[in-house]
Amino acid sequence: MRRSAACLKELGQDFGRVDVSEPASISSGIAARYATAVFELSKDAKGLKGLETDLNALTAALEGSDDLQALIASPLYTRDEQGAAIAAVAKKMKLSSTMSNTLALMASKRRLFVVPQMVSVLRDMLSEEKGEVTAEVVSAKALTKAQSDKLAKTLKASVGQSVNINATVDESLIGGLVVKVGSKMIDTSVRSKLAALQNTMKEAR
């Protein structure tokens, strides 16, 4: 507990001003540091199940609220404005104290813009802890539970491990799926087929 608490305390120190204009590699590093601290604190407190609930709530909120996306990404909000708003959001979603405190710290350090990346890293950590791999699945329409379960079963047979589905919707795909498991990408979307057809037509001219 001491080690993870120290990790979060270290994150509270100012490592220099970082904003959304910084390179993606820096953002990824910041997200990974916060994710590690949150995961260790949650694990020490035997709160990994609660952490998973937090991540589901945050994912749904980020996908369903343009206002929340603007809050964490826009440099126009002050630290105090971001802090007050994210505290209200955390309270409304009934997030754990660990996650709520971390979000408050991130707001005070102008780090809220890495929340989506932090959530993604935490999902991978939870999956690894449970002996699973996470499949990032993008579909034109929301998957039903039956479709999600069938896909998980199919992917398990392919990768040899239990698969946790993290599904999102992108209507521009028109149909089909884009599935990413680790470094492997499986694209069965209609959009990709149309793009391939268009390339073939261009080459034939």
Please write the tens of the pLDDT for every residue from 54-97.
Answer: 999 999 999 888 999 999 999 899 999 999 999 999 999 999 99
Split at pLDDT 50, 70, 90, the class of 18 is very low
Beta-carbon contacts of 92 under 8 Å, excluding residues fewer than 6 positions away, are none
Domains belonging to the chain, first-starting first, are 2-126 (1.10.520), 133-204 (no CATH)
CA distance 126 to 59: 15
Q: Which of 195 and 7 is assigned the larger pLDDT?
A: 195
Mean pLDDT of 118-134: 89
Mean pLDDT of 144-163: 88
Q: What is the DSSP string of 58-109?
A: HHHHHHH-HHHHHHHH-TTS-HHHHHHHHHHHHHHHT--HHHHHHHHHHHHT
Split at pLDDT 50, 70, 90, the class of 14 is very low
